[in-house]
Amino acid sequence: MRAETERLILRPWEARDLEPFAAINADAEVMRFFPARFTREETVAYIERIAALESEDLGFQAVEEKATGDLVGVVGMAPVKPEYPAAPGVEIGWRLARHHWGKGYASEAARAWLAHGFDNLGLPEIVAFTYVGNTPSRRVMERIGMRYDPASDFEHPALAEGHMLRPHVLYRLKAEDFQR
């Protein structure tokens, strides 16, 4: 997907994104709700893996700041992995460089993805999930109109029992509830 919002460009990954994205993934504060930070090699592998999944329709893609060309981070949508209780479905997610927090960029990019999902792809629903204690991410979900569905709380299937980050919450947005 390629799209422009007021302040952002949403686009596929490019070679120049590697260094700034590796820095985002190596930042302990950005990654505090993930089991581990990424090494540079893991960022390379991640970009290769998500770039391979990219299509005209879905993907976790690069977000660039229009005014500066700076990489803001990653925002996008992908099919929920089959091992998650929310599957089958489409999820939306985000991860931004710390110096771009607090500007409304995650919400701005996410709204463009939601519009694409509902208006161009005709999806009936889009979900999002995160660790129960990830308040900033839950706030983005609420800001873009998603609703917490307590009945769908789940334990992250890739994490061992007892792992602190295991309890996850799920938010939903149905096409008919999307506010343009």
Ligand X SMILES: CC(C)(COP(=O)(O)OP(=O)(O)OC[C@H]1O[C@@H](n2cnc3c(N)ncnc32)[C@H](O)[C@@H]1OP(=O)(O)O)[C@@H](O)C(=O)NCCC(=O)NCCS
Q: Residue 42 is encoded by which pair of tokens?
A: 């893991």
| Closer residue to ligand X, CB minimum distance, 61 or 134 | 134
Give me the least distance between CB of 177 and ligand X, in Å please. 19
Strands (DSSP E) contained in 66-146 are: 71-79, 90-96, 125-131
| Closer residue to ligand X, CB minimum distance, 1 or 8 | 8
d(CA 167, CA 163): 9
| Closer residue to ligand X, CB minimum distance, 67 or 176 | 67
Cβ burial, residue 51 (10 Å; 0-12/13-18/19+) = middle
Tell me how crowded residue 138 is: count the other CB atoms within 10 A of its CB.
Answer: 19
| Closer residue to ligand X, CB minimum distance, 6 or 176 | 6
| Closer residue to ligand X, CB minimum distance, 11 or 103 | 103
Task: Name the residue whose CB lies closest to ligand X.
Answer: 104
CA pseudo-torsion sign 143, 147, 1, 32: positive
Give me the least distance between CB of 161 and ligand X, in Å please. 21
Give me the least distance between CB of 150 and ligand X, in Å please. 17
Give me the least distance between CB of 122 and ligand X, in Å please. 25
d(CA 28, CA 50): 22
Give me the least distance between CB of 134 and ligand X, in Å please. 5
Contact residues for ligand X, defined by CB under 6 A: 30, 33, 93-96, 101-107, 130, 134, 136-137, 139-140, 143
